[in-house]
Structure 1
Amino acid sequence: MSTENRFIDKISNEQTALLPAIEFRGEIRIVENERDIAAACRYLAEQPVIGFDTETRPSFRPGVTFRVSLLQLSSPEVCYLFRLNRIPLDKAILQLFENKRLLKVGADVAGDLRSLRQIRHFRDAGFIDLQAIVPEWGIAEKSLRKISAIVLGQRVSKAQRLSNWEAATLTDKQQLYAATDAWVCTRIYERLLRTPKKPLRQ
């Protein structure tokens, strides 16, 4: 554990933009065939902590929304991209969501889970929302980009956020963006655990 907490409470967009970008350097595996779901879930179930995120095709028309297109679950070495526009939200995936011993770390977890429940119902357990816990370390920011900037000193790129997540083939940039978003949550969580807490001053 580091001996002191030097995290600032807030960071500006300008300060964040000056930081180096963080990128996932591990293996990215796309799951778009039903036959590949079980093996991916077996691997993920053996991890102590995994990163969690989702992507949804953006709608540029009021009142039009799409279902979750992509589910990202990442260990430090491998990130699986489940293309939910191609495969079902399978029972093996739901077992990961319901496993309280498997910690799943994300940002705005409640929003992601709400969107996933529009596809299929499940009872979640073992989820950790960075937005909910960072105030214990004196951090007032809520966006993953700014939490990463404060905790890791690196920014998460948001360049691909509004790209088409239901495209026939995901580009290399989309894959890297999606994998980084899930994986970086575990890096942030690990750093927090090694740092003393300091609650936000009221």
Structure 2
Amino acid sequence: MKITRHLPKDEIKALPPFTGLTLSQITLVQDEAGLQAAVAALQAHDVLGFDTESRPTFHKGQKPTGPHLVQLASADHGWLFPLGEGPMPAPLAALLSRPGLTLAGFDLSSDRAHLKNRFGVTDLNLLDLGNLFQCEDKRLTIGAVQAVAQLFGQYFRKSKKQSTSNWSLRALSEAQQLYAANDAWVAWRVWQALQGT
């Protein structure tokens, strides 16, 4: 476990920017052929960066219906699986629950619950990377922005506009694709960096 000081926001924002995946390194899976190709490419990996996105709720009492997007990433590529309001494709569900596959990400308790509640996907080997850090102040937790600042000395900027955008769309904007894929890729990069500590 890495014991660390929780860096203040202004200190993090003064760091050099973290360079993420570009659009050419992102695959938006939009049809059956794309799904089969993506799953085939991902089968070779034992660890993948992982995240999900859900359409935000804006009204009191409104229940979330996500996740609407699953994001996976390897060393140099990100894959986005839009789910909309439909079922999860069987090949993707089988991949996520494949024995021997670790899905590494941040703050994954809600992801686990939402995947179980909406799709019945339960056999997930999730690694919450925040649990691999321990702050001097035990009340604080480590998320992606903190982890990148501490491990790489860089600022991983997360757009509030994109985080609250409509993730139930099948045709995601370029900005959404970059945001979502890099959330998963940052998790992979952090996992990789922690292997050497």
TM-score exceeds 0.5: yes
Question: CA, structure 1 residues 136+125, in 2 after alignment: closer, same or farther (shift >3 Å)?
Answer: farther
Could you say what secondary structure the match of 1:24 adopts?
coil
In the alignment, is the contact (CA less than 8 A) between 1:89 and 1:119 conserved in 2?
no
TM-score (norm 2): 0.85
Give, in angstroms, the shift of residue 21 of structure 1. Answer: 2.8
Question: CA, structure 1 residues 21+59, in 2 after alignment: closer, same or farther (shift >3 Å)?
Answer: farther
Moved over 4 A (4+): 136-140
2:52 is matched by which residue type in structure 1?
T
Higher deviation after alignment, 67-76 or 89-98: 89-98
Q: CA RMSD in A?
A: 2.6
Residue 142 of structure 1 corresponds to 142
The separation in 2 between residues aligned to 1:157 and 1:187, in whole angstroms, is 15
1:91-106, aligned counterparts within 5 Å? 91-106=90-105
Give, in angstroms, the shift of residue 87 of structure 1. Answer: 5.4
Higher deviation after alignment, 179-188 or 65-74: 65-74
Q: Which of the numbers 5, 15, 21 marks the counterpart of 2:11?
A: 15
Residue 184 of structure 2 corresponds to 182
Deviation sequence 1:118-154 (CA, Å, 0-9, x none): 2211232432111222229999532221122112222
Which sections of structure 1, spanning at least 5 residues, go unmatched?
Answer: 196-202
1:30 is matched by which residue type in structure 2?
L
Residue 71 of structure 1 corresponds to 70
TM-score (norm 1): 0.83
Could you say what secondary structure the match of 2:156 adopts?
coil
Which sections of structure 2, spanning at least 5 residues, go unmatched?
Answer: none
1:78-93, aligned counterparts within 5 Å? 78-85=77-84, 88-93=87-92
1:1-202, aligned counterparts within 5 Å? 8-22=4-18, 23-25=20-22, 27-64=25-62, 65-85=64-84, 88-135=87-134, 141-159=141-159, 160-167=162-169, 169-195=171-197
The separation in 1 between residues aligned to 2:187 and 2:136, in whole angstroms, is 15
Question: CA, structure 1 residues 94+167, in 2 after alignment: closer, same or farther (shift >3 Å)?
Answer: closer
| Percent identity (aligned) | 30
Question: CA, structure 1 residues 71+6, in 2 after alignment: closer, same or farther (shift >3 Å)?
Answer: closer
The separation in 2 between residues aligned to 1:46 and 1:109, in whole angstroms, is 23
Question: CA, structure 1 residues 127+137, in 2 after alignment: closer, same or farther (shift >3 Å)?
Answer: farther
1:158 is matched by which residue type in structure 2?
K
Higher deviation after alignment, 159-168 or 45-54: 159-168
Could you say what secondary structure the match of 1:150 adopts?
helix
In the alignment, is the contact (CA less than 8 A) between 1:145 and 1:157 conserved in 2?
yes
The separation in 1 between residues aligned to 2:10 and 2:3, in whole angstroms, is 17
Give, in angstroms, the shift of residue 92 of structure 1. Answer: 1.4
Higher deviation after alignment, 170-179 or 157-166: 157-166
The separation in 2 between residues aligned to 1:58 and 1:97, in whole angstroms, is 23
Question: CA, structure 1 residues 12+84, in 2 after alignment: closer, same or farther (shift >3 Å)?
Answer: same
